[in-house]
Structure formats: structure tokens, C-alpha cells
Chain A
């Protein structure tokens, strides 16, 4: 820490500089490992199961829901990109 005296007014100002990030943002970041795991799992299944892949391409959210996944926007967006890569491969 820089060599400023720890006067209490200054400490209050510094504490006020770090308000909490919005709860939803923090939660989404914390769920990232699980979201990545789900994404890999779905892509792998789509690679192996042509019918599942067709359902995903036809209606992503509905296919995810019926397969037991929560179609969160971040998951759907990432999955669309991965499916497009899969298609172009």
C-alpha cells in the first residue's frame, strides 16, 4: 500500500471505493466451471447423437430443457457458437 497515513477519514474513502459487484454477476462467474462442463457435455453428445444435434439446431432452448439443462442465455450463446464450429468442421 502506498505510504499514506491511515487516517480514519481516508480509510472510509478507500472502503467506499469497493462496493460489491452485482450479485448476479458474481454468481454467473462462480457458475462458470459448471457451465463449461455442461457445455462440453452437450457438444460431445451433439457430436455423437445426430438426432439430438438436429433438435438443438431446430430449437436450442427447447432441446436443452427436454434434455434436463437450464437454457441460460450464456449457455445458449456459447452453445450456438460451438455448434456452428461443429457444423463447419
Chain B
């Protein structure tokens, strides 16, 4: 069984030069940074890629300056936000574009925080459930594609999604999940 490191433990290991920890840090927050750039600030992919690389480069360089290791997420959010604003301002100088309003951005970033909480909740589920939910919702894959990838009949995917969502809801609400008589998590 893999024990997931806390954000603070991850930061500590990254500081000591642990490449595996750095890989995990990037993996853990890559979706979040990406989503802030493309959903929160509506950056085109080329700009979003620059922001993405810039944020992780700054994270790597400045990890020592993080005062509270448990605050990695808000720190990354702020780094990403600053990088997006810089990119928008630089772009506006070259070609005027419509900037998203600050209130809209704030609202979207709040929703992305909720989304990351839910995404992190997936780790409390079985690998099968996690995979089915991620493929269907986050990767937007069809029942057929999911069925082929996981070697499951396509006709059972909808019921699995429903069952796994129920389990996720129970985990997030801190309730004990009800037994799954089919064992098909």
C-alpha cells in the first residue's frame, strides 16, 4: 500500500533534492495550475504553457522561501495567479485583449479549490473507482473507451460511475461507506 505524503512532507523532501518527491509535487498540482491558467484566466494554450513552466520553475527556485510548508497549495495558487496576470499584461501591451474581471477570476479560483478538494478525495477510493471517475469526468472519455481501457463491458460503466460517485460523496462527507455487495468498486 502506498502512503500518500502530506504537502508539507512533500515540500521537505523536495528541498532535500528528492527527485521522486518533485515528480509527485508536479503531478499533484499540475491540473490545478493548468486549470487556473486556462479556466480562471482563459489563457490560450501557448500562454498557459509558458505560465505552467514558469510556475514550476519558480516553485523549484523558491521552495526555501515558503514559510509554512502546509500552505503549499495557496502559495502555488498565488504564484500561478501572478504569472497569469503578468502574461495578460504583457499580451495587452502587444495586442489588446479582453481580460477576465477580477470577480469572475476570484469566483472561478474558489470553484477550482473545491474541485481540487474533490479530486484529492478520489485517493480515498479504490484504484478502479478513481480511474473510472477520472476517465469519465476529467478526461471526458466515452463508456466505450473506458470499457476498452479497463477491460469492462461498456454497459456496466454507467452503473459503476454512479456507484463510485456515491462512494466519493460518502468519503467527502466523512461517512462510512455502505458495503458494496457486488464488490465492484
Real complex partners, A and B? yes
Interface residues on A, range: 20 to 34
Given contacts A8-B162, A11-B169, A30-B23, contact A18 B60 (CB under 8 A): no
Q: Is the CB of A2 within 8 A of B110?
A: yes
Cα distance, A89 to B142, chains bound together (Å): 58
Q: Is the CB of A20 within 8 A of B111?
A: no
Cα distance, A17 to B110, chains bound together (Å): 12
Number of A-B contacts (CB under 8 A): 101
Main secondary structure of the interface of B (DSSP, over half): helix
B19, B26, B32, B162 — most chain A CB neighbours (10 Å): B26
Given contacts A11-B118, A15-B134, A30-B22, contact A25 B34 (CB under 8 A): yes
Cα distance, A22 to B34, chains bound together (Å): 9
Residues of chain A contacted by B119 (CB below 8 angstroms): 14-15, 18
User: Using a CB–CB distance below 8 Å, which chain B residues touch chain A?
Assistant: 17, 19, 22-23, 26-27, 30-35, 39, 49, 52-53, 56-57, 60, 110-119, 122, 133-134, 137-140, 162, 165-166, 168-169, 172-173
